[in-house]
Amino acid sequence: MTKNKIIIGSRESALAVLQSEMVKSFLNKEHPELHTEILTMKTTGDKILDRTLDKIGGKGLFVKELDLALIEKRSDISVHSLKDMPMEVPSELPLLAFSKREDPRDVLVLPKGADHLDKSKPLGCSSLRRTLQLKELYPDMEVKSIRGNLQTRLRKLDEGEYAGLILAAAGLKRLGLENRISRYFTVEEMLPAAGQGILAVQGRAEEDYSCLEGYCDREAWICGTAERAYVKYLDGGCSSPVAAYGELHGDTLLLRGLYYREEDGTYIKGQLEGDPLRAEELGITLAKRLKESMEKGESS
């Protein structure tokens, strides 16, 4: 990394570039002497759109090309949606900072001009985590997989393929599309993905990243760490609908989790409070507790 230039690696979708621009703006404001550029690339996960993520290899497909650019020093940092990051991060490419969290909730988006769900059409949804929880919220509706960037999904919705889409509020808000949101799901109704609404900045080990000082949000780091520890313990990637969401209330971290047993399709939700300074430990403790409860037959 040269002392006066930083190249930011990013996926090439409009949302990914916008998120990288947010980090670029921070660097420009705090370090006007730095020249910053965004290097965009299409990841394997962006190229394969005809199959669900669990069929093609999970979350790692969204970071492989960005990781390689970092290793080859074509970029200096990468900006990711934390929820798209694999739980195992190479030690040579550490996570450096988490952004302040945007709205973590999932939302319902209806076709343009619609004011109710057309139950003769399916709900569009890209994750097993959402699909599982939608069965309780809309038991009489079909849920169908949808892939592609946000604009592609919205176009398919507006062309009449789906009754509605389930999306992350964060992406819509960042792109100025908040007016498309028809309903917000509470975190009790639809537990978010670990890291949802948080941006992660990744870099190379042993480089000087003092230019990022002040970017990392303490609350996001604590909650994101707990959520990822929970999911990692349960070995939940894109192919498993494990979910976790943390909230800081003063000196207490409240962590909610969902554990799903693939063998019989049952799942359980639970929560635990603890010390924010022991976020990782709290995540593992809740994961163990829910797994043990499930094994005793205490499913929801």
Q: Which residues neighbour 191 within 8 Å (Cβ) at sequence distance 6 or greater? A: 129, 133, 243, 244, 245, 256, 257, 258, 269
- Report residue 151 as tokens: 């604009």
What's the distance, Cα to Cα, between the start and end of the chain in Å?
51
**Are the C-beta atoms of residues 244 and 255 closer than 8 Å to each other?**
yes
Residues classed as catalytic: 84
- Quick one: which H or E segment has residue 69? helix 64-71
Give the integer Cα–Cα distance in Å for 30 and 211. Answer: 8
Give the integer Cα–Cα distance in Å for 62 and 47. Answer: 10
Give the integer Cα–Cα distance in Å for 209 and 217. Answer: 16
Pairing of strands 266-274, 252-261: antiparallel
Give backbone dihedrals phi and psi of 202, rounded to 5 degrees, phi first: -120, 145
Give the integer Cα–Cα distance in Å for 300 and 279. Answer: 25
- According to DSSP, residue 275 is labeled -
- Report residue 119 as tokens: 């139950």
